Amino acid sequence: MMKLSKKAMAAKRMSETLHLYRCPICYKGMNVIEDRQLGCVNNHQFDLAKQGYVNVVQQAKKTVYDLGLFEARNQICRSGFYTPLMNRISMLVEELFTTGDELTILDAGCGEGSHLTELLDCLEQESVGIGVDLAKEGIQTAAKHNDQGIWFVGDLANTPFNNQSFDLILNILSPSNYAEFNRILKDQGLTIKIVPGANYLQELREQIYQGTEQAEYSNQATIDRFEEAFTLIRREDVKYQVELSTELFNHLIKMTPLTQDADLTRLKPIDLITVELEILIGMKKVM
Ligand SMILES: C[S@@+](CC[C@H](N)C(=O)[O-])C[C@H]1O[C@@H](n2cnc3c(N)ncnc32)[C@H](O)[C@@H]1O
Ligand SMILES: [Zn+2]
């Protein structure tokens, strides 16, 4: 059988999930038009890129994240760097969603898409996974490497999704927009937010921020904001260490915004790095 192109596959997946989408300009429903666009009755149209994603952002926004960063992030994810975290998330999802119904999952700020793919691979439950990110380079990398998800370049402040579309929003090491999350979550929906723990990439932080206040990181303000927006039903820490080959170390220093202003040539190689992440699970507050 002939293999569908990435664009045709994306058109097919979007056609099967049309009830989830709305036009980000006029908020009407959208259709897939001739396998090449997503569009609404008011003629707002968004092209399907040949790589298999749709960009619904009106004006391109420059982010600090470039293609090199997302490719490095992809290599790090593929090495299993975040697998203990993703395994724990998938166990929690299986435990918290027990109806057996198909789950609709949005990865908000999905970057290069590996986390969503890893979760979809782990879950036994039927699920539809959508990733959205403002960085076109992230979504291009996601669509290139991951065939399972549906990928959008979009802004978390105005997503192309209908009210009450998702059972689960994942928000991993990314900014959030809780008003928008609550709009698109189903009433019984959950948000799983991952924030860095105090010792996340500590060995790298120590080199970059030696002696400055930034060498120590507190996530308390982020957790407080999450608790204002959702009813916190679970909070737990995942902590482990990862051995780094020279190759992985080189990917690691390219994949994190921490090193954005650092002179990478002055960094000393690290062979064991700490990954500490906090999992926050919030239930939508229904007014
Ligand atoms: C540190 S990266 C994390 C990406 C991914 N979740 C991961 O863990 O690999 C933060 C991501 O948030 C995205 N982002 C920042 N502001 C955004 C916005 N307003 N809407 C959508 N994505 C946004 C960035 O483009 C970037 O991909
Ligand atoms: Zn429209």
- Which domains, from first to last, does the chain contain? 6-284 (3.40.50.150)
Q: Give the residues across from 280 on adjacent strands.
A: 193, 235
pLDDT digits (tens, 9 = 90+) for 241-279: 999 999 999 999 999 877 777 777 778 999 999 999 999
pLDDT of residue 210: 78
Look at residue 60 in the predicted model and tell me its pLDDT: 76
- pLDDT, residue 213, reads 64
Instruction: List, for residues 72-120, the tens digit of each pLDDT value.
Output: 999 999 999 999 999 999 999 999 999 989 999 999 999 999 999 999 9
- The confidence score (pLDDT) of residue 62 equals 75
pLDDT at 211 (0 to 100): 66
Ligand nearest to the CA of 193: 1
For range 65-78, the mean pLDDT: 93
Average the pLDDT over 7-22 and give the result: 97
pLDDT tens readout for residues 125-155 = 999 999 999 999 999 999 999 989 999 999 9
Q: Given the structure tokens 């932080």, which residue do they identify?
A: 205
64 or 17: whose pLDDT is higher?
17
Distance between CA atoms of residues 204 and 281, nearest Å = 28
Distance 22 CA to ligand 2 centre (A): 8
pLDDT (0 to 100) of residue 218: 80
In this structure, the residues whose C-beta lies within 6 A of any atom of ligand 1 are 63, 65, 73, 109-111, 115, 133-135, 138, 155-157, 172-175
Amino acid 19: pLDDT: 98
pLDDT tens column, 189-216: 999 999 999 999 999 998 888 766 666 6
> What's the pLDDT at 214?
66
pLDDT: which is higher, 12 or 207:
12
Which of 82, 151, 174 has most ligand 1 atoms within 8 Å of CB, for mutation?
Answer: 174
Quote the pLDDT of residue 219.
Answer: 87
Starting from the CA of residue 175, give the closest ligand: 1
pLDDT of residue 216: 67
Q: For position 61, what pLDDT does the model report?
A: 74
